[in-house]
Amino acid sequence: MDERGRERLDARIDSAGREGLTGTAPANMYRPHHDAEQVTLAPDGRPMELQPAWRNDFPIDWPQDHYVERRDFMKFMVLTSLAFTVGQFWIAAENWRRRRRGQPEMVRLTSMRELPVGATQVFAYPTEHDPCILVRSDERTLVAYSQKCTHLSCAVLPRVEEGVIRCPCHEGFFDLASGRPIAGPPRRPLSRVRLEVRGGDIFAAGVDERTV
């Protein structure tokens, strides 16, 4: 190699550098010792690969600047991709934790006598941070749902006489009988609390989360 990084000419006609060539010049004879398109020159005159990283990241010519900004944007997008993948595994971990918790215990809410037709009651189930609503829509029908709207978790309010549950934040409406969304931004039904009536007492016996 000479001082410019090029291979010295090998005099032998069968040398590797001459393989496939009809002339006597090696393949890299006229290869420039620096990138001819590299307009950015450092003040000390050394090649760009020997310069500190910041000088390569802030070139002075536009084409190189466009290249660097696209490369860095791509790097940022790959980091975003990593974040989304971490998010997927976070969901998987949360799901594992939820499965480990299992179904909540049965809790007494009230009695049929204390809840007249058309009345509603707010309760917390399965934890104190999970507000729910219990509605007695007619003599024999009891329904209970999570009070958190499936849009943005605002507290929903039942309108028994209209047969709907309304979210006042964004005018979302759910069907009182099924908990399914019927108008507004919510797309998922309200989580349904399973109820059991034993000896006139009403118990919450679990939560059914639904996608449709």
Partner 1 sequence: MSVHRPFTRAQRGTIVNGMLAFVLMLVILQLWLLTATMNAYLGGDESVIWPAAAASVVCLALNAGLLRYLYHIERTRQ
User: Interface with partner 1 by CB under 8 A: which residues?
Assistant: 19-21, 27-28, 34-35, 37-38, 47, 49, 63-64, 66-67, 70-71, 73-75, 77-78, 80-82, 84-85, 87-89, 91-92, 94-95, 99, 150, 187-188, 208-212
In 93-191, at which residue ranges do the beta strands (DSSP E only) sit?
A: 107-111, 120-124, 131-138, 141-146, 157-159, 164-167, 172-175, 181-183
Min. distance of Cβ 12 from partner 1 in angstroms? 15
Strand order in the sheet with 181-183: 157-159, 164-167, 172-175, 181-183
Name the residue nearer to partner 1 (CB basis): 84 or 113.
Answer: 84
- Dihedral of CA atoms 90, 93, 95, 100 in degrees, nearest 10, equals -160
| Peptide bond before residue 126 is cis, with ω within 30 degrees of 0 | yes
- What is the distance between the alpha carbons of residues 139 and 158, in angstroms, rounded to a whole number? 17
Min. distance of Cβ 127 from partner 1 in angstroms? 16
Min. distance of Cβ 203 from partner 1 in angstroms? 21
Name the residue nearer to partner 1 (CB basis): 111 or 153.
Answer: 153
Name the residue nearer to partner 1 (CB basis): 61 or 162.
Answer: 61
Nearest one of 99, 96, 132, 138 to 117, comparing CA atoms: 138
Name the residue nearer to partner 1 (CB basis): 102 or 199.
Answer: 102
Task: Name the one residue in this structure whose structure tokens are 């940022």.
Answer: 76
The residues pairing with 148 across neighbouring beta strands, listed in sequence order, are 155
Min. distance of Cβ 136 from partner 1 in angstroms? 25
Name the residue nearer to partner 1 (CB basis): 159 or 210.
Answer: 210
Name the residue nearer to partner 1 (CB basis): 136 or 192.
Answer: 192
**End-to-end CA gap in the chain:** 72
Min. distance of Cβ 190 from partner 1 in angstroms? 11
Whether residue 47 contacts residue 36, with contact meaning beta carbons closer than 8 Å, is answered with no
Min. distance of Cβ 156 from partner 1 in angstroms? 15
